[in-house]
Amino acid sequence: MTRAPDCLTCRHFFVTWDKRYPRGCRIFEIKSRELPSLVVLRSTGRRCPSYERSPRVDRA
Ligand code: SF4
């Protein structure tokens, strides 16, 4: 699969509270406007290998 994974359901995703770059990834130390996995896909040409479904998604 080459589609970027959904960072919003990943345990490594966080909201930065920076209006310019509101989406963050702890693994890649990225802050961006778009989903971090899209940044990873574009810069490496590969799907993010570090996606892990967050337990908080299943609790919601
Ligand atoms: S590890 Fe991958 S899927 Fe998870 S937040 Fe970071 S870029 Fe997104």
User: What residue's CA is closest to ligand 1, atom 7?
Assistant: 37
Q: Which residues pair with 30 in a beta bridge?
A: 25
- Cβ(14)–Cβ(21) below 8 Å: no
Scanning the structure block, which residue is given the tokens 């993010």? 48
21 pLDDT above the threshold of 90: yes
- Structure-token pair, residue 10: 């990943």
pLDDT at 1 over 80: no
What's the confidence (pLDDT) of residue 54? 96
Mean pLDDT of 27-48: 96
pLDDT recorded at residue 53: 96
Closest CA to 13 of 51, 47, 41, 43: 51
Coil/strand/helix, residue 44? helix
- What per-residue confidence (pLDDT) applies to 59? 80
Neighbours of 40 (CB within 10 A): 24
Pocket mutation for ligand 1, best pick of 51, 53, 56 (most atoms within 8 Å of C-beta): 51
